[in-house]
Each structure stands twice: as C-alpha cells, then as structure tokens.
Copies of this chain bind each other. A is one copy, B any other.
Amino acid sequence: MTITGKQLIAGNWTDGRAGNFYGVNPATGEDLQPAFTAADEFQVAEAVHAASACAGEFANLAPAKRAEFLNTCADEIMALGDELLERVSAETGYPRARAEGERGRTCGQLRLFADWIVKGEYLDARIDTALPERQPLPRPDLRSFNQALGPVAVFGASNFPLAFSVAGGDTAAAFAAGCPVIVKGHNSHPGTSELVAQAVANAVKKCGLPGGVFSLILGSGTRVGAELVKSPGIKAVGFTGSLQGGMALFKLANERPEPIPVFAEMGSINPVVLLPEALKARAEAIAEGFVGSLTLGTGQFCVNPGLVIAVEDEGLDRFIAATSAALAKVPAGVMLNKNTLAGYQSGVARLRDQAGVEQVATGEPARGDGGFTCQAGLLTVTAKEFLSNHTLQEEVFGPMSLVVKCRDRSELLQAVSALQGQLTGTLQCTESELVNYGDLVDVLRQKVGRVVCNNFPTGVEVCHSMMHGGPFPAATDARFTSVGTMSIARFVRPICFQNYPEALLPDALKNSNPLNICRLVNGEKTCDAV
C-alpha cells in the first residue's frame, strides 16, 4: 500500500481541498512524508450524503453478512503487515510490541463483535403475541427489536492509533449495529489512519457493500469535525479524548435542530485507594504495580492512575518511598505529539502551583533531543487541601500522580465522597477491609464505571462484561461503555411492529426464527420458533 494523503469519501480516494498538513514523528519532532490534504465542508457533506443513502440497506443486512464484513476488516488490517506497524511506531513513538499488541486488540475486537452479532442477543428481539379475546380490550400482536440508528461520526483518539481510531471500538460497534461510519481521523496519526481506511475500503468492496458505508475525513484543527457533527444526516457521535474536546462536541450536538447523542469518553484520574492493612502487608508490592500502571505507555491511558488516596501512616510512607525509588529509574518517555507534551507540562506545573502540593519523586529527566519526551513524577497533598481545591481533580494526561494524605478514616471517606465521576476506582485492600470499609466502597461504586480490586486500572479487557465509561465527566453518558460487546447498544434503537404481517417482518421477529436467535416471547426467553 502507498500512503497518498487523500480523503476516502464513500469509496473514492480524493484530495482534500482545505490545505495540507503532516504527520510528525514524536521521537524526533520531524515531519513525516507524505503531506496530507484536509477535507472541506463539501467533502464532509458528500460523505454524509452517501452514508445516509445506504443506511437502510446496511441496517437491513443479515447479521451474518455484517459479521463477514467485520472479519474481512480484520483480515485486511492484518494484510497491511509491517508497513502498518512501522507507521504506527513512527507516528506515535510506541515501540513495535505495543503497535503489534494494539493491532491484535483491534482485530480481536472486530472478530469478537462478528461472533457476537450472529448470536442476536444485541437485537433484544421481543414478541408479544396477539390476545384477541382479552377483556376489556384485545391485545394486538407486538414485536420489537433493535434497529441501527443511522450514520455515526467517529473521532479517532490520539493514544490508540488502532484500537480507538479508524477501525477501533467505536467503528466496530457502529458497523456491528448496522450503522455507516464516517471517521474523523486524528491529526496525530494520519498515515496510520489512511492505511487502516484502505483496509476497510477493501473489505467494503470484497463484501459487495455500498461505498457510503465508510468514509475517512482528515483535517487539522477542529473545523472539519464540527462540520461533521452538525451534518443533519449524522445520528450519533463516538469520541475518545479530552474533556474539552468531548464537551465541545456534546454542546454542538445538543444545539442541532435535531439533537443527537454524543458518546464521549473523556478520561479521568482513576483514584487508587490504599487501605491500611493492605499497605502494612505489601506496600512495596503495591508500589511496584502502581509504578508499572502509572508509566505504561508514558502514562497516556484514559485509565492511568492519576490519584492515590490513603491514610497517613507508616505503610503509606513505605509506599511513597518505594514508588519514589522505582520512579527514579523510569526513563523519559516519548509523548504522542507536541500538544500532548505541552498539556502534560502545563498540567504538572498547574498542580505544583497549588497550595500544599509537594513533588516527592521524579523519573529520569526529559531528553533535550527534539523529541517530545517527558519526566514522570509523584506529588503529595493533604486531604484538607484536596477537599478545598477542585483544580486538584483536573486530569493531567501523562505519568504523574498525586497522593492525597488523609489524617484518618473519616477524612479518607470525605476524599472519596468528593470525587467526581471516574472511569475506574481501585481498591488495594484485604478482604476484611473490603467489608469494614463498606461505606467507602458504596460511595466509590456511585462514582465509577469499574471497581478494581487489588489490580491496577490500566488494561481494559475487550469482553462482554467490560464497562469503559462512567459518571460525568468521565463520559457524557454513564449508561454506555465504549469497550466490549455492550458498546453496540450505543448505536441501536428499538422499533416496534404492531399487527404486522408475519411474512414481511424483519427476520429477527418472524415466528419461524430464521436467524436462530434467543428471543423474549410473551415474557419468557426462548430460542425456539413461535
């Protein structure tokens, strides 16, 4: 494959008409060839128009056909071979092993969704048969299932150039649901975006689908993304990124004449609560795991542990000492791009400026070689200061964490109660502490999407039970995950058929059950025909 710098508009590769930009190698700070063109508003409109035109056809495709398409997308991504892995590393600074792991995750996700949709659970098919003799009124035949929402706009995330980008979780979920997708590729990895779009375009062709099913729009700045969200044909938005970016899209989407849902996963500080007995028993082991989680991928994960909460005691001192010793050996990591590095530096400076904040540990210093390298670190603050200063809850994206030192158990509970919504909340504890601190656990459950017990929050498994989301501001809608098979629910809506001729019902609702799926028939789950 050759990277051309073009847009993919409904099956056609075409030059953007709104200027040029380049990918940048964050390890060196140098531009990467070739130049990419930026889409203009007419190209956005063309992609949305084509998506709308084929939305019904794609929605009505049998789940097995959509599964074949998802699997073909995975095959075609694998077929990109080393060129893809090399471009990922060049555009992100991620080592090859990470690029390879993320490719595996991306393809595994597409294949998991393929397997899942043919089971038909996500369709939530329900049949209530007619009761013509019922008094005082007969009941008509009523049947419902989940139908695709329509064209979805997906915004690629900088930190997962494959798994949360062009053919990442949002796109896979939307395809699985039967929605055409228009991706706004992230400026941080345009070459990776184009290569993956080539793979998806091949899959579209091989499966005989209309080109409107998939488009890739590129462009620097926020203009082209805003135009996409404002397009009347777009029916939902998937986004992973900053609070500022997510809220800008959320606002745009709600101000449309027809408001649409925005599923923005906006990250969080993922508090890690260290309980005293656990610290006493294994402060050093916890510190080792914590530093690994904090510095993984140069701290560039939505679930990076940016906050530690614990009662001041000898165990906490040991944790801080061990963490500091481990951090001192952490080399400066390469951040994804200039903006990410600048955001990290200003975020760290802002935290350090807050009353009572002390820096207690640092990693190896950033290199002065033109690459976007950064220094890891650990800060501390008292719970009293934490409780009175909301700035201390603002996410700093990167390998920096803040330890909140509580005087006693009551202050510990206060600090947890003061947290805003989070993707995850971690407890390091003994089993008896989990019982004894039941009040704290209950409060934590109200704040997070995932409770992690004696693990660390990094590592988001793609599976059926994953919840990657959480109360605001972790996400715009706590009722949905952006990872795992439950994420398909974002892009469907129920539709009900009343008194509809059996032969003309969608297959999911026919008496004969041609899809061979399990359905709720008159309130009972059954996999049989009616």
Contact = CB atoms under 8 A, between A and B. Distances in A.
Interface of A: 55-56, 60, 101, 115-116, 121, 124, 126-128, 136-137, 139-140, 142-144, 147, 149-150, 250-251, 254, 258-261, 420-421, 431, 434-435, 442-443, 445-446, 448-455, 459, 461, 463-467, 469, 471-473, 476-479, 481, 486, 489, 492-501, 503-504, 518, 520, 522-523, 525
Given A121-B525, A421-B258, A479 B467 contact: no
Given A56-B446, A500-B453, A479 B261 contact: yes
A455 B497 CA distance: 11
A500 B489 CA distance: 26
A205 to B, nearest CB: 24
A15 to B, nearest CB: 33
A457 to B, nearest CB: 8
Contact of A461 (B121, B139, B471, B477): B139
B126 A465 contact: yes
A473 to B, nearest CB: 8
A94 to B, nearest CB: 15
Contact of A140 (B136, B455, B486): B455
Given A56-B446, A140-B461, A494 B479 contact: yes
A250 to B, nearest CB: 7
Contact of A467 (B420, B495, B518): B495
27 contacts: A124-B486, A126-B464, A128-B463, A128-B464, A128-B466, A140-B455, A144-B465, A144-B466, A147-B445, A150-B446, A258-B420, A258-B472, A431-B501, A434-B501, A434-B504, A445-B495, A449-B493, A453-B498, A453-B500, A453-B501, A455-B498, A464-B522, A466-B496, A471-B493, A479-B489, A481-B494, A525-B525
A486 B495 contact: no
Contacts of A499: 452-455
A418 to B, nearest CB: 13
Contacts of A479: 149, 261, 489, 492-494
Nearest to A468: B496
A465 B509 CA distance: 11
Contacts of A127: 465
A463 B142 contact: yes
A140 to B, nearest CB: 6
Contacts of A473: 258
A450 B254 contact: no
Contacts of A147: 445
A116 B522 CA distance: 12
Contact of A465 (B128, B261, B477): B128
A465 B121 contact: no
A295 to B, nearest CB: 17
Contacts of A254: 250-251, 254
B495 A448 contact: yes
A494 B501 contact: no
Residue among A128, A258, A451, A495 facing the most chain B CB atoms (10 A cut-off): A495
A463 B143 contact: no
Given A449-B496, A471-B493, 14 more contacts: A60-B442, A121-B520, A126-B465, A142-B463, A150-B446, A254-B254, A259-B472, A259-B476, A261-B477, A451-B495, A451-B500, A453-B498, A454-B499, A467-B495
A530 to B, nearest CB: 12
B496 A450 contact: yes
A209 B523 CA distance: 29
Contacts of A124: 486
Contacts of A450: 495-498
Contacts of A442: 56, 60
Contacts of A495: 445, 448-451, 467
A3 to B, nearest CB: 29
Given A121-B520, A121-B525, A459-B137, A496 B150 contact: no
Nearest to A261: B477
A114 to B, nearest CB: 13
A449 B259 contact: no
Contacts of A144: 465-467, 486
Contacts of A486: 124, 126, 144, 494
A453 B56 contact: no
A469 B461 CA distance: 34
Contacts of A476: 259
A478 B121 contact: no
